[in-house]
Chains A and B, each alone.
Chain A
Amino acid sequence: MIINHPLLGPRDAQEFVYLGDASLIDRPDASGETALDDFHDYLYLRDNPAGSHKELWFHEQGDRSWLVVTRDTRTHEITHVELAFEYAKRRGRDK
């Protein structure tokens, strides 16, 4: 596979390490009443669609950036790639 790195252009997926569902960015509030359940769902109940999937890839052999890749799990077609920290900020992680 080839991942079109937003800064470096097309790079072989072999240079990346896969983590999984991009919802791992949405780490729950650890002080919340329901923290235990929230963290269980966060860690163990990930999205596993047959179709478009937002997922985390780490460019370990490249520039060490984490990417959020939107990829179809049936065809492996990649429709969107962005830097994870920008995605995370949009999700309010920097508050």
Chain B
Amino acid sequence: MSQKSRLDGGLIDRSRPLSFSFDGKNYTGYAGDTLASALLANDVRLMGRSFKYHRPRGVFSAGSEEPNALVELRSSARREPNTRATVAELFDGLEASSQNRFPSLRFDALAFNDAFSSFLSAGFYYKTFMWPAAFWEKLYEPAIRRAAGLGRLYGKEDPDNYDKGFLHCDLLIIGSGPSGLATALTAGRAGAEVILAEEDFIFGGRLLAERNLLSEQDGSEWAATVISELQSLANVRLLSRTTVFGQYDHGIFGAVERVSDHLPEPISHKPRQVLWRIYAKRALLTAGATERPIAFENNDRPGIMLAGAMRAYANRWAATASQDIAIFTNNDDGHRTARDLSAQGVNIVALVDCRIDAPPSTEFEVLSGAQVVNSRGRLGLKSIQVQLRDGSMKELACGALGLAGGWNPNVHLTCHKRGRPIWNDKISAFVPATDTDPLLRAAGAAAGILSTHGALLSGAGKAIEALKELDISARTPILPKAEDAPVNIAPFWYVKGGKGRAWLDLQNDVTVKDIKLAHQEGFKSVEHVKRYTTLGMATDQGKTANIGALAVLAEMEGKTIPDVGTTIFRPPYTPVSIGAFAGGSRGKEFRPYRLTPSHKWAEEQGAVFVEAGNWLRAQWFPIEGESHWRQSVDREVIAVRKSVGICDVTTLGKIDVQGADAAEFLNHIYCNGFAKLPVGKTRYGLMLREDGFAMDDGTAARLAEDHFIVTTTTANAVPVFRHMEFCRQCLWPGLDVQLISTTEAWAQFAVAGPNARDLLQKIVDPTHDISNEGFPYMACGEITICGCLRARLFRISFSGELAYEIAVPTRYGDALIRRLMEAGKEFDVVPYGTEALGVLRIEKGHSAGNELNGQSTAAMLGMGRMVSQKKDSIGRVLTGRPHLLREDDYRLVGLKPVNAGDPILSGAHLMNVGEIANAANDQGWVTSAAYSPHIGASIALAFLKKGDQRLGEVIRIVSPIDNLEIEGEVTSPHFIDPEGERLRV
């Protein structure tokens, strides 16, 4: 189909036509087009619907500030809602569809909201939907929800990849317009490490959209020559399609590079987008300025747009919204638009200038002192009503109207650290405060310097200034001659009078009336107005709306605009894909895996694995004929109790503690004593937090006078090491002690069961005596196995059986478990997983994570007496607080069901028989439960008030959340071998 509204010239490649579709209709555009410019060229003006009233809307801008032309780009799982047509780079086969309309863009049923608009004023929600009470939930709210939102997500996993990266530079330059290029040239030639980031797909910024020459060159040509020089410099990094979206502390900036969004889909292995964290010693904001409209009645029709955008479409994209255009301006820049358009052969119906002293023109009619007061055309502008200087009315037919209300510097990034912009009367706009963060300066239009000449100069100047602080000397390059027009502007925000609605925030449908109503209802602070009317909260964050609203508010308050103040600009500058922030950390790669030394072997055995922090541990090892996990776990447990089993316990934290004062150090961090622990012995240790609650438990083995190996639970390995370093460096820096983690360096296996020693004897080198006498319970030592391989042996037991833990350098872990399984055949050795480990320790009454959950004291755990009063250990003093010593505190007990068949659920609460189950009567809770093949029933550990004094008592175990209640008997937590004889055989 022909491109009816395509003009001559422009920066598009007519040799590369691209076909695309909008709402199922096919069109053609050219390489270099955006979706918006291509649609305009194809004479499409209607591109979207507004959020609240579903008013027909056309493209309003030519950049990322676009409030109206939002589309769903691409299809199925790659569908991208709310994509601005103005920045969507055209590619062959691009699919786009309009959104927030039903059934079609031309006829939208919800447009009936528009008819009722007089009842849907600002804040109407809060006053209504309350009668009758029940209707809110059942009727009103669901209805509001259905109407909510703009575009649709597809609802399936995003198929594209994202990545992250880190960049470092002396000078980050944000925006590549005249000031940005001058900055880059200055800094680049000075040899500084420079990054030039540009959100557009071509460098040059506003230079690409203007006709005036730089010296004898077109602006775009000059930009191209500068860029090619910069490309030749090794110290300059050019990033196009890259938005610097936020400024953070200490010169860190967030940026997103759209690597593949201009392609139908990413090239294989390449990400869709990359999130860059940029560390900049200095930064320059050269992000230009955004034009603002003038509000009047029905100023939202398709075809009404920013004048500067019209100019950009005509000059850069050779496209126009209409052949007959009017301009409404309060400053000279509107005239430039009119000149450029007529130079492109567009008919300027009239230039309406609210200023009485508007400059005349020979090319087109200038109506000075006049105002556009209304417009007509349901799905697209047909005509405007103009009130002439003498008050008479005139109707002008036109297909498009350009609004030129002046330009707002893009100060946003200078405010991300809560810097506030200041008002500049010369250009009637906010500019960056000069005293804000020295790390980030502004130049060019972003600093309120709106002429090309000024922009070039300030860019170079600021670059020199910034580099000077880094002791890099730079010189101003020879810059081209450029226009230096003064800014002649008469502040004019909206047309007074008129009964209808004059839009300020086009996307959220916030009108002048809404601001006035909010003010009338007492919402006078700018933050209140924003929140009450939703002004500036749409996807464009009010880039074209806020200033107009401030002006209205200022008028109501009888204040100046700066006195009314602004809302705070926060990151991101423009919306950023959530996927980019996540990068590669998603799915299975959300966090790294930690694999045990026996992982490969366990996989071969068909083990079922479970996440334990980042570790993957074998949960159980099913064998043929086992259909339910309980069968496997029971078998593993029984095997350990009857013969011998092997479990990979490498995941437990191991910390090497050495130094002349190592023992004294341990005395401080454990509540029980370690000074007198003999070499060659291991001792259980309980670590308290300073507040007296248990932090972690484990063992410490003394390999030498000045050498211990401390073990921690798997979950607490990292925090415990951190805590020990705190004690070492901050609390007792005088102690001669050194710490290092060896968790990963050693593969460690528990060998447990009556036959454990017999099995080990088969691999331990005969030079080492591991008999009960030679290597008694709690012994430890460095040995060799399998012919002189260094190993460590600890006679400790978590299962309550005769047990050892044997450690070898990690690389031998796989071979060792294979060897142990081989050697253990004669004892029917079994590997056991974390489930069996859990059952065994519950049977033995050992505490684990569920008991050591940070809410338990030593006393609760039945270890109150372990807290030595003879020494100063972490947590001892505050253990003495009354509430921690209270009589009726919880104590760890065991539970058995009265009827052996009943299951006990971990997390159930305990109630006295005959009392109603409620919080007031709560006696405690079940911490861990399991089926014990040894007992032949479900057993549990629990915290029970005064539990230690209630052994034998029958208690109710209630779990209302499962509608379950059973009776249980309170027992000792030690279900097997309470005297610990099995440990010592």
Do chains A and B make direct contact within the complex (CB under 8 angstroms)?
yes
What residues of chain A have their CB less than 8 Å away from a CB belonging to chain B?
A: 1-2, 12, 17, 19, 24-25, 27, 30-31, 35-36, 39-40, 43, 56, 58, 60, 64-66, 75-76, 78, 83-85, 88-89, 93-95
Q: A12-B252, A56-B730, A85-B730 are in contact. List 20 more A-B contacts (CB 8 A).
A: A1-B250, A2-B249, A2-B251, A12-B279, A19-B726, A35-B877, A39-B690, A39-B878, A43-B878, A58-B722, A64-B725, A66-B725, A85-B729, A88-B730, A93-B731, A93-B732, A93-B734, A94-B732, A94-B734, A95-B734
Q: Does B872 contact A (CB under 8 A)?
A: yes
Chain B stretch 406-425: residues in CB contact (< 8 A) with chain A? 417
Establish whether residues A27 and B251, one from each chain, have CB atoms under 8 Å apart when the complex forms. Answer: no
List the A residue with the shortest CB-CB distance to B872. A30
Q: Does B876 contact A (CB under 8 A)?
A: yes
Which of B252, B730, B734 makes the CB contact (< 8 A) with A66? Answer: B730
Q: Does B600 contact A (CB under 8 A)?
A: no
Q: Does B965 contact A (CB under 8 A)?
A: no
Establish whether residues A2 and B880, one from each chain, have CB atoms under 8 Å apart when the complex forms. Answer: no
Q: How far is the CB of B726 from chain A (nearest CB, A)?
A: 6
Given A2-B251, A30-B872, A58-B722, A39 and B730 contact (CB-CB distance below 8 Å): no
Establish whether residues B252 and A2, one from each chain, have CB atoms under 8 Å apart when the complex forms. Answer: yes
Q: How far is the CB of A15 from chain B (nearest CB, A)?
A: 12
Given A25-B731, A31-B872, A39-B878, A66 and B690 contact (CB-CB distance below 8 Å): no
Which of B248, B733, B734, B880 makes the CB contact (< 8 A) with A36? Answer: B880
Q: Does B160 contact A (CB under 8 A)?
A: no
Q: Does B865 contact A (CB under 8 A)?
A: no
List the B residue with the shortest CB-CB distance to A29. B872
List the B residue with the shortest CB-CB distance to A27. B731
Give the complex CA separation of A60 and B880 in angstroms: 32
Q: How far is the CB of A66 from chain B (nearest CB, A)?
A: 5
Give the complex CA separation of A93 and B732 in angstroms: 6
Q: How far is the CB of A81 from chain B (nearest CB, A)?
A: 12
Establish whether residues B249 and A25, one from each chain, have CB atoms under 8 Å apart when the complex forms. Answer: no
Q: How far is the CB of B657 from chain A (nearest CB, A)?
A: 14
Which of A17, A24, A40, A78 makes the CB contact (< 8 A) with B730? Answer: A24
Q: Which residues of A contact B734 (CB under 8 A)?
A: 89, 93-95
Q: Which residues of B contact A36 (CB under 8 A)?
A: 877-878, 880-881
Establish whether residues B252 and A93, one from each chain, have CB atoms under 8 Å apart when the complex forms. Answer: no
Beta-carbon contacts of B848-883 to A below 8 Å, as 1s and 0s? 000000000000000000000000100011101100
21 contacts between A and B (CB under 8 A): A1-B248, A2-B249, A12-B252, A24-B730, A25-B731, A27-B731, A30-B872, A30-B876, A31-B872, A36-B878, A36-B880, A58-B725, A58-B726, A65-B729, A78-B250, A88-B730, A93-B734, A94-B732, A94-B733, A94-B734, A95-B734
Given A30-B872, A36-B878, A85 and B733 contact (CB-CB distance below 8 Å): yes
Beta-carbon contacts of B712-736 to A below 8 Å, as 1s and 0s? 0000001000100110011111100
8 closest A-B pairs by CB: A94-B734, A30-B872, A2-B250, A85-B729, A85-B733, A1-B249, A39-B877, A66-B729
Q: Does B691 contact A (CB under 8 A)?
A: yes
Give the complex CA separation of A1 and B248 in angstroms: 7
List the A residue with the shortest CB-CB distance to B690. A43
Q: Which residues of B contact A31 (CB under 8 A)?
A: 872
Given A30-B872, A85-B729, A93-B732, A43 and B691 contact (CB-CB distance below 8 Å): yes
Which of A2, A30, A60, A88 makes the CB contact (< 8 A) with B729? Answer: A88
Residue among B252, B732, B876, B877 with the highest chain A CB neighbour number at 10 A: B877
Give the complex CA separation of A65 and B730 in angstroms: 10
Beta-carbon contacts of B734-753 to A below 8 Å, as 1s and 0s? 10000000000000000000
Given A39-B690, A43-B690, A64-B725, A93 and B878 contact (CB-CB distance below 8 Å): no
Q: Which residues of B contact A12 (CB under 8 A)?
A: 252, 279
Which of A19, A64, A88 makes the CB contact (< 8 A) with B731? Answer: A88
The size class of the interface chain B forms with chain A is 20 to 34
Which of A58, A60, A76 makes the CB contact (< 8 A) with B249? Answer: A76
Give the complex CA separation of A54 and B730 in angstroms: 14
Establish whether residues B252 and A25, one from each chain, have CB atoms under 8 Å apart when the complex forms. Answer: no
Give the complex CA separation of A24 and B876 in angstroms: 16
Given A1-B249, A39-B690, A95-B734, A84 and B729 contact (CB-CB distance below 8 Å): yes
Q: How far is the CB of B524 from chain A (nearest CB, A)?
A: 27
Establish whether residues B725 and A89, one from each chain, have CB atoms under 8 Å apart when the complex forms. Answer: no
Q: How far is the CB of B809 from chain A (nearest CB, A)?
A: 23
Establish whether residues B878 and A66, one from each chain, have CB atoms under 8 Å apart when the complex forms. Answer: no
Give the complex CA separation of A94 and B878 in angstroms: 23
Chain B stretch 862-912: residues in CB contact (< 8 A) with chain A? 872, 876-878, 880-881
Q: Which residues of B contact A66 (CB under 8 A)?
A: 725-726, 729-730
Give the complex CA separation of A83 and B872 in angstroms: 25
Given A36-B878, A66-B729, A60 and B722 contact (CB-CB distance below 8 Å): yes
Give the complex CA separation of A50 and B781 in angstroms: 54
Q: How far is the CB of B695 from chain A (nearest CB, A)?
A: 14
Establish whether residues B733 and A30, one from each chain, have CB atoms under 8 Å apart when the complex forms. Answer: no
Give the complex CA separation of A83 and B878 in angstroms: 28
Q: Which residues of B contact A40 (CB under 8 A)?
A: 878, 881
Which of B730, B732, B872 makes the CB contact (< 8 A) with A84? Answer: B730
Establish whether residues B726 and A88, one from each chain, have CB atoms under 8 Å apart when the complex forms. Answer: no
Beta-carbon contacts of B392-432 to A below 8 Å, as 1s and 0s? 00000000000000000000000001000000000000000
List the A residue with the shortest CB-CB distance to B718. A60
Residue among A19, A27, A35, A56 with the highest chain B CB neighbour number at 10 A: A27
Chain B stretch 777-834: residues in CB contact (< 8 A) with chain A? none
List the B residue with the shortest CB-CB distance to A83. B729
Q: How far is the CB of B168 from chain A (nearest CB, A)?
A: 10
List the A residue with the shortest CB-CB distance to B689. A43
List the A residue with the shortest CB-CB distance to B281. A10
Q: Which residues of B contact A43 (CB under 8 A)?
A: 690-691, 878
Give the complex CA separation of A50 and B878 in angstroms: 29
Q: How far is the CB of B723 from chain A (nearest CB, A)?
A: 10
Q: Which residues of A contact B872 (CB under 8 A)?
A: 30-31
Which of B251, B718, B722, B733 makes the CB contact (< 8 A) with A93? Answer: B733
Chain B stretch 231-278: residues in CB contact (< 8 A) with chain A? 248-252
Q: Which residues of B contact A58 (CB under 8 A)?
A: 722, 725-726
Q: Which residues of B contact A39 (CB under 8 A)?
A: 690, 877-878
Q: Which residues of B contact A35 (CB under 8 A)?
A: 877
List the B residue with the shortest CB-CB distance to A28. B877
Establish whether residues A25 and B878, one from each chain, have CB atoms under 8 Å apart when the complex forms. Answer: no
Q: How far is the CB of A4 from chain B (nearest CB, A)?
A: 9
Q: Which residues of A contact B730 (CB under 8 A)?
A: 24-25, 56, 66, 84-85, 88, 93
Q: Which residues of A contact B876 (CB under 8 A)?
A: 30
Give the complex CA separation of A64 and B251 in angstroms: 25
Q: How far is the CB of B780 from chain A (nearest CB, A)?
A: 26
List the B residue with the shortest CB-CB distance to A89. B733
Residue among B248, B730, B872 with the highest chain A CB neighbour number at 10 A: B730
Beta-carbon contacts of B16-55 to A below 8 Å, as 1s and 0s? 0000000000000000000000000000000000000000
Q: Which residues of A contact B732 (CB under 8 A)?
A: 93-94
Establish whether residues B726 and A30, one from each chain, have CB atoms under 8 Å apart when the complex forms. Answer: no
Q: How far is the CB of A2 from chain B (nearest CB, A)?
A: 4
Give the complex CA separation of A40 and B877 in angstroms: 9
List the B residue with the shortest CB-CB distance to A60. B722
Q: Which residues of B contact A17 (CB under 8 A)?
A: 722
Establish whether residues B279 and A2, one from each chain, have CB atoms under 8 Å apart when the complex forms. Answer: yes
Q: Which residues of A contact B881 (CB under 8 A)?
A: 36, 40
Give the complex CA separation of A58 and B726 in angstroms: 8
Give the complex CA separation of A76 and B725 in angstroms: 26
Chain B stretch 630-685: residues in CB contact (< 8 A) with chain A? none
Q: Which residues of A contact B878 (CB under 8 A)?
A: 36, 39-40, 43
Give the complex CA separation of A88 and B533 in angstroms: 55
Give the complex CA separation of A19 and B722 in angstroms: 10
Give the complex CA separation of A32 and B438 in angstroms: 50
Q: Which residues of B contact A65 (CB under 8 A)?
A: 729
List the B residue with the shortest CB-CB distance to A56. B730
Q: Which residues of B contact A84 (CB under 8 A)?
A: 729-730
Q: Which residues of A contact B249 (CB under 8 A)?
A: 1-2, 76
